[in-house]
Structure 1
Amino acid sequence: MTRTLCSDLRPPPYLSRQSAVTVILATDKIKASRGFVIRFTATRNSSVCSSPSLFECDNSECIPRARVCDGVFDCVDGSDEDRCRKRALRSLSVVFNRC
């Protein structure tokens, strides 16, 4: 997977299950810019979302657990809402039965 980051804004976290990640820094000829900072964490845990307040999407992305089953796809792969649809449809049918 290739990912290019070109911005002054902080990019979203990049998560990989691979044993190696290659980072290439390419700059222009301007030498007066602020520089480059990279932070990384290596872990042996099978879950990268180790905090109980986080939910791990099927693509290993982490989102706040409060955003799961809220009707909004917060995980890129939609896994935060995927397991909730049946429950939401049941609730919706109850509302319609009251009318």
Structure 2
Amino acid sequence: MPFKALSDFYRVDAPYLKVVLPKKYSKSVGCYVSKTNTIHLSSGEKLEDPFVILHEFCHHLRTHDRKHRGTEKYANKFAMDFIEAFKPSRKHSSHVSYK
């Protein structure tokens, strides 16, 4: 289950995942459908894009009683902040310089 760790951390049910978009979202790279509790992606390649996955997971988090309570701006920020927090820093790099 790809969302288990995130869902456990945020104490929410894990969404389902499908690599196919609903017709009305055919021009998107991803979407979250609250009615089915499903994150849809446009292609299998998007499974490797943490921004898309986290952006749509944010929509999952921000949906209550099947009503969306978030914005695209907030979902973008959530994804970027999450990615930034887990980027390896140069300070803790395994690269050793012998000058």
TM-score (normalizing by structure 1): 0.26
Give the number of the structure with larger relative contact order, counting CA–CA contacts within 8 Å between residues 6 or more apart: 2
TM-score (normalizing by structure 2): 0.26
